[in-house]
Amino acid sequence: AQTVTQSQPEMSVQEAETVTLSCTYDTSESDYYLFWYKQPPSRQMILVIRQEAYKQQNATENRFSVNFQKAAKSFSLKISDSQLGDAAMYFCAYRPTQGGSEKLVFGKGTKLTVNP
């Protein structure tokens, strides 16, 4: 079964600084999709960014970018110019293209604190 591991239960960053959240996953497939979701204190799950495994170019969405290392099965999220509103739980998720492709598998999350 595919698994997603987020090894940092908590991280903190100073406002305006850059922080990187780690995510690794275990799969035997060559094609799949990866996602980062943000969950602020309001509890709403919000899509931050997504990456297709067949694309070598790292996805970018404004201040959010990923470092996708397919061989290492690593999918880290970089937040630049951190803002107070970035404080949240961040979840990494994996979705296969073959068996189980209907479902997303989530990591346990990383709690990000942004210090003013």
Partner 1 sequence: NAGVTQTPKFRILKIGQSMTLQCTQDMNHNYMYWYRQDPGMGLKLIYYSVGAGITDKGEVPNGYNVSRSTTEDFPLRLELAAPSQTSVYFCASSPGRGNSPLHFGNGTRLTVT
Q: Binding residues for partner 1, per CB under 8 A?
A: 4, 9, 33, 35, 42-45, 47, 50, 52, 91, 95, 97, 101-109
Nearest to 65 by CA among 107, 19, 27: 19
Rounded CA-CA distance 16/35 in Å is: 24
Rounded CA-CA distance 55/48 in Å is: 18
Q: Least distance in Å: CB of 17 to partner 1?
A: 26
Q: Least distance in Å: CB of 6 to partner 1?
A: 8
Q: Which amino acid is at 108?
A: K
Q: Least distance in Å: CB of 116 to partner 1?
A: 26
62: left (phi over 0), alpha (psi -120 to 50) or beta: left
Which residues are 75's β-sheet partners?
68
Nearer to partner 1, 16 or 22 (CB): 22
Nearer to partner 1, 17 or 31 (CB): 31
Q: Least distance in Å: CB of 46 to partner 1?
A: 8
Nearer to partner 1, 56 or 116 (CB): 56
